[in-house]
C-alpha cells in the first residue's frame, strides 16, 4: 500500500508550527468524562466523542510523541506540552518517520476537485500545481484540510466550495477561540488597554468560566472569552457578565464598604483592592451619572459587569474555527456517505473545542479514525 501526502503549501504542518510558538499544548490530562465534555457542536455529541477519544486518548497521543523521542509533561493546569515546548522537533521527527516508512510528500499541490469514480473504482483528484491542473487517482482519500483560521498557514477554507460542488453539505466556518469586539465607552481604552482582568469569572447564558480577560482596543481577548465562544455565538445579543470579585459575596463587598455614603468608586478601589483594569471597567457600569448611587449598586455592578459584545474577531485571527463538514454527511468511520473511499479528519469537520490541547487531540483522534478506516475499507475491497 502506498501513501502520498499532498499539501497546497511548500511544506507540511505550518499551523502545527504556529501552534508551538507559545508552547505546543498537545493534549490535556484529566478524567475521561471531563475530557469528552469539552467537545461541542451539533450531533453526534457525547457518545461519538466518548468512543473516538477512547480509541485514541491523551495517553495514546503522549505515547506517539514518546515513540518519536519527544518527551511530554503535564503542567499543574493539566495542559500537556513537549518538554521543549515547541513543535519543530516533533514535526521534523514525524515527517522523517513517515518518509522512512515510504510515505511520499507532494508539496505545492492545491486540491481543487474530486471527479466521479473511474470504471476501475479509483478516485480521481484534481490538483492545481503552479497554476496548471494535475490529475491523479487513488483507491482511498483522507481529506484533512483544516478550518479557516490563520489562512497564511494554508488552511484557508477554500475546500468548502469544492465540497459543496460535489454536494457535501458544510456548516459555514466561523471564528472560534477568538476575541470579541465591543464598543467601549469613552475613557476605558485610555485607562485599561492591554491590561488583564485577573482572577475574574465571566458568564454568558448559563455558563461561567474562571480565569483571565485582556482588555484590548477592540474588545476582549483571553481564556474566558474563548471558552464562552460557543454560547456567545448562539445569543441574539451576545453579552458577557464579569464578576470582578468572585471570592467575595455581594454581602461581603457591601460590608467592606462600611458606612460609605459617597465616592463609592474611590472607596471601592481601595477597600476592595481593585486593580487598574477592574476599576476602569467598574466605572463604565455607572452610566452618565459618573458615580454609583449606593454601596448595594456598586457591589452588584462589581459582581456582574455587563459588556455587550458586537461580533467575534475575524476568522483569520482566530485560534480555530467551528463549522465544517456536517456529521450527517459522515459514517461512524468518518467516510463521506455519498463518496465511498473518501474520509475526512480534523478541524474540517463540524466540531468545536476550547484551547487547552483539546483541538490537537480532536484532530489526532479523528485523523486516527479516518486513517484506520481508510485502510480497512481498502483491504475489504481488495479481499476476494
Ligand X SMILES: Cc1cc2nc3c(=O)[nH]c(=O)nc-3n(C[C@H](O)[C@H](O)[C@H](O)COP(=O)(O)OP(=O)(O)OC[C@H]3O[C@@H](n4cnc5c(N)ncnc54)[C@H](O)[C@@H]3O)c2cc1C
Can you give the C-alpha Rg of the chain in angstroms?
25
Distance in Å, CB of 90 to ligand X, minimum: 12
Distance in Å, CB of 7 to ligand X, minimum: 5
Distance in Å, CB of 63 to ligand X, minimum: 17
Which one among 14, 38, 62, 369 touches ligand X, defined by CB under 6 A? 14
Which one among 30, 243, 329, 347 touches ligand X, defined by CB under 6 A? 347
Which one among 229, 238, 323, 346 touches ligand X, defined by CB under 6 A? 346
Which one among 3, 18, 68, 378 touches ligand X, defined by CB under 6 A? 18
Burial 131-157 (b: 16+ CB within 10 A, else e): eeeeeeebbbbbbbbbbbbbeebbbbb
Distance in Å, CB of 70 to ligand X, minimum: 15
Choice between 145 and 244, CB closer to ligand X: 145
DSSP letters spanning 289-329:
GSS-SSHHHHHHHHH-EEEE--EEPPGGGSSEEEEEE-GGG
Instruction: Please give the Cα distance from 130 to 297 (Å, whole number).
Output: 65
Q: What is the 3-state secondary structure (H, E, C) of 166-203?
A: CCCCEEEEEEECCCEECCCCCCHHHHHCCCEEEEEEEE
The region of 8-16, 168-176, 264-272, 285-293 touching ligand X under the rule CB under 6 A is 8-16
The region of 17-25, 43-51, 68-76, 212-220 touching ligand X under the rule CB under 6 A is 17-25
3-class SS of residue 268: helix
Choice between 25 and 216, CB closer to ligand X: 25
Looking only at the bridges linking them, the beta strands covering 305-308 and 239-243 are antiparallel
By CB under 6 A, the residues from 349 to 378 that bind ligand X are: 357, 359-360, 363
Instruction: Please give the Cα distance from 355 to 183 (Å, whole number).
Output: 26
Interface characters, 122-161, with ligand X (x: CB under 6 A): ----------------------xxx--xx---xx--xx--
DSSP letters spanning 134-157:
EEEEES-EEE----SSSGGGS--S
By CB under 6 A, the residues from 307 to 326 that bind ligand X are: 319-320
Total of residues contacting ligand X (CB under 6 A): 32
Binding site for ligand X (CB under 6 A): 6-9, 12, 14-16, 18-19, 24-25, 110-111, 144-146, 149-150, 154-155, 158-159, 319-320, 346-348, 357, 359-360, 363
Amino acid at each position: 500500500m502506498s501513501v502520498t501526502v499532498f499539501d497546497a503549501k511548500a511544506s507540511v504542518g505550518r499551523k502545527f508550527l504556529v501552534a508551538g510558538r507559545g508552547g505546543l499544548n498537545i493534549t490535556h490530562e484529566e478524567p475521561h468524562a471531563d475530557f469528552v465534555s469539552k467537545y461541542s457542536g451539533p450531533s453526534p455529541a457525547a457518545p461519538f466523542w466518548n468512543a473516538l477519544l477512547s480509541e485514541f486518548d491523551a495517553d495514546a497521543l503522549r505515547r506517539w510523541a514518546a515513540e518519536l523521542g519527544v518527551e511530554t509533561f503535564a503542567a499543574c493546569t493539566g495542559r500537556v506540552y513537549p518538554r521543549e515546548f515547541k513543535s519543530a522537533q516533533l514535526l521534523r521527527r514525524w515527517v522523517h518517520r513517515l518518509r522512512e516508512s515510504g510515505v511520499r510528500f507532494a508539496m505545492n499541490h492545491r486540491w481543487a476537485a474530486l471527479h466521479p469514480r473511474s470504471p476501475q473504482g479509483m478516485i480521481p483528484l484534481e490538483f492545481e500545481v503552479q497554476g496548471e491542473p494535475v490529475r491523479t487517482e487513488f483507491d482511498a482519500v483522507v481529506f484533512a484540510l483544516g478550518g479557516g483560521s490563520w489562512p497564511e498557514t494554508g488552511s484557508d477554507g477554500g475546500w468548502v466550495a469544492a465540497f459543496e460542488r460535489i454536494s457535501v453539505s458544510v456548516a459555514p466556518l466561523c471564528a472560534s477561540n477568538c476575541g470579541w469586539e465591543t464598543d467601549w465607552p469613552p475613557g476605558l481604552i485610555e485607562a485599561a488597554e492591554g491590561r488583564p482582568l485577573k482572577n475574574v469569572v465571566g458568564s454568558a447564558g448559563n455558563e461561567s468560566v474562571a480565569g483571565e480577560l485582556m482588555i484590548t482596543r477592540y474588545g476582549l481577548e483571553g481564556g474566558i472569552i474563548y471558552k464562552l465562544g460557543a454560547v456567545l455565538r448562539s445569543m441574539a445579543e451576545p453579552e458577557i457578565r464579569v464578576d470582578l470579585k468572585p471570592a467575595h459575596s455581594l454581602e461581603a463587598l457591601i460590608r467592606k464598604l462600611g458606612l460609605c455614603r459617597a465616592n463609592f468608586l474611590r472607596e471601592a478601589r481601595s477597600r476592595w483592592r481593585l486593580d487598574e483594569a477592574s476599576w476602569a471597567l467598574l466605572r463604565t457600569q455607572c452610566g452618565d451619572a459618573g458615580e454609583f448611587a449606593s454601596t448595594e449598586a456598586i457591589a452588584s455592578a462589581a459582581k456582574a459587569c455587563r459588556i455587550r459584545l458586537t461580533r467575534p474577531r475575524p476568522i483569520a485571527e482566530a485560534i480555530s474555527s467551528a463549522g465544517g463538514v456536517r456529521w450527517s454527511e459522515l459514517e461512524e468511520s468518518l467516510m463521506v456517505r455519498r463518496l465511498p473511499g473518501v474520509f475526512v479528519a480534523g478541524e474540517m469537520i463540524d466540531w468545536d473545542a476550547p484551547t487547552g490541547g483539546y483541538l490537537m487531540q480532536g484532530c489526532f483522534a479523528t485523523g486516527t479514525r479516518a486513517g484506520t478506516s481508510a485502510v480497512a475499507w481498502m483491504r475489504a475491497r481488495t479481499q476476494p
